[in-house]
Structure 1
Amino acid sequence: MPELRRLRLDHAPALLAFERENRAYFAASVPDRGDDYFTHFDTRHAALLAEQAAGTCHFHVLVSTDPTTRGEILGRFNLVDVADGSAELGYRVAEKATGRGLATTTIRHLCTLAAEEYGLTTLRAATTLDNPASRAVLTRTGFTPTGEELTLGGRAGLGYVRPLKVGPKQGSKA
């Protein structure tokens, strides 16, 4: 089973490969990152790690543990804009890793981690209306539509929210 790991500096080469290999696949359902993202990837990666160190975001990668693909990134799962016990969930799963329940399993795990380790009480998410797979994953993992209609990269979208249960470690992470 792949492992969810907190983003580190040494993930950069595998993360860049993941983003390049899946760019067209992602662009079919989420707004494209643009050429600038790839041109300045190292600078952007360092900035993400600085945000994580400041506690305003929690970035994670889903890493293969299979002996033939060990270290390959299969997905990224991020909690951004952390404030007042809340954060925004964003995620991407490699095309070759879809349909195996990895997004659902990982988001369930991340919700527990968010409550128990990061002290969060609410997660928000958004997806485009033309992304039924993402909408299904959010629903399966306890997110409910807020009714808020959004525009994401020029496409119609919908907001979601999920309250988190107070975990045993949450009180000690104040």
Structure 2
Amino acid sequence: MDISIEKLQLPDARNLFEFEMVNREYFEEMVPSRGDEFYNYDTFMERLGSLLKEQAQGLSSFFLIKNNDGLILGRINIADIDEFKSLGYIGYRVGKDHIGKGLAQLALKLLADKMRNEGFERLLAKTTSNNIASQRILEKNGFIKRSTGDEEIMMNGQSVNFVHFIRFL
């Protein structure tokens, strides 16, 4: 499947909101909830405005994973970009109907290539200890496990930790 990663823009808002609504339950199985407020359109738009401002300031870059028809299949971002534009934290999520097709792995490759071309030297990532699929995707893309955090969080009745990864570009 051909995909692209496109920078998040305001015209994507309605489709992105629908994507998040449709996939809420699925995402919350593996990552902490964003809370009920996030799924109110007005609140979503406020948060989106904040993200777009952060992106305009060069602090983060938010991308949508899209197919050739422009359908949003997932999201991938690089956040907390350092002042030298050489380091950032990546995160991604693929919609439930699109898992198991290699989309996250391909999108992560596209993002890593883009960041290397922009002068980045390292990418950092973290995922929950129960999200084995995400850990495998990171490792297949050259990320190395650095550590497992000591802090435990409760998610869906299960105690999990964050697993931290690094990739040198």
TM-score, normalised by the number of residues in structure 2: 0.89
Runs ≥4 residues deviating over 4 A:
150-153
Preserved CA contact (<8 Å) 1:81 1:87: yes
In the alignment, which residue of structure 2 is the partner of 1:134?
Answer: 134
State the match for 1:172 in structure 2: none
2:115 paired with 1:144: no
C-alpha separation in 2, matches of 1:160 and 1:46:
29
1:157 shift after superposition: 1.7
Report SS of the residue matched to 1:77: strand
Tell me if the contact between 1:62 and 1:77 (Cα under 8 Å) persists in the aligned partners: yes
Distance 2:166 2:152 in 1: 17
Q: In the aligned structure 2, how far is the partner of 1:37 from the partner of 1:106?
A: 25
Residue 151 and residue 109 in structure 1: after superposition, are their counterparts in 2 closer, same or farther (change >3 A)?
A: farther
Residue 41 of structure 1 is aligned with which of 39, 44, 49?
A: 44
Where does 1:14-29 land on structure 2 (aligned, <5 Å)?
A: 14-29=15-30
Deviations 1:51-89 (A, max 9, x none): 000000010001121xxxx22210100000000411000
Asked if structure 1 preserves the Cα contact closer than 8 Å seen for 2:148 and 2:161, the reply is no
Match of 1:87 in 2: 88
Q: Of residues 30, 47, 52 in structure 1, which corresponds to 2:55?
A: 52
Tell me the distance in 2 between the aligned counterparts of 1:128 and 1:59.
21
- In structure 2, C-alpha distance between the alignment counterparts of 1:98 and 1:147, rounded to whole Å: 26
**Cα distance, 1:38–1:160 mapped onto 2, change above 3 Å:** same
Aligned residues: 159
Structure 1 residue 43: Cα displacement: 0.8
Is the 8 Å Cα contact of residues 91 and 125 (structure 2) preserved in structure 1?
yes
Q: Pairwise CA RMSD of aligned residues? A: 1.3
Secondary structure of the 2:166 match is strand
Q: Which amino acid aligns with 1:122?
A: R
Distance 2:90 2:150 in 1: 15
Query: After superposition, where does 1:66-145 map in structure 2 within 5 Å?
Result: 70-83=69-82, 84=84, 85-117=86-118, 119-145=119-145
* 1:12 and 2:13 correspond: yes
User: In 2, are the aligned partners of 1:31 and 1:152 still within 8 Å (CA)?
Assistant: no
1:139 Cα offset (Å): 0.4
Q: CA deviation at 1:2?
A: 2.1
In structure 1, stretches of 5+ residues that fail to align are 165-174
| TM-score of the two chains, using structure 1 as the length reference | 0.87
Q: Which residue matches 2:166?
A: 161
Q: For residues 6-64 of structure 1, what are the alpha-carbon distances to aligned partners after superposition, in whole Å with 9 as ceiling and x for unaligned?
A: 11111111111111000000011111111111220011111111000000001000112
Q: Percent identity?
A: 34
Pick closer, same or farther for the CA change 1:58–1:152 going to 2, 3 Å.
Answer: farther
Mapped partners of 1:127, 1:152: distance in 2: 13
Q: Give 1:153 shift.
A: 5.1
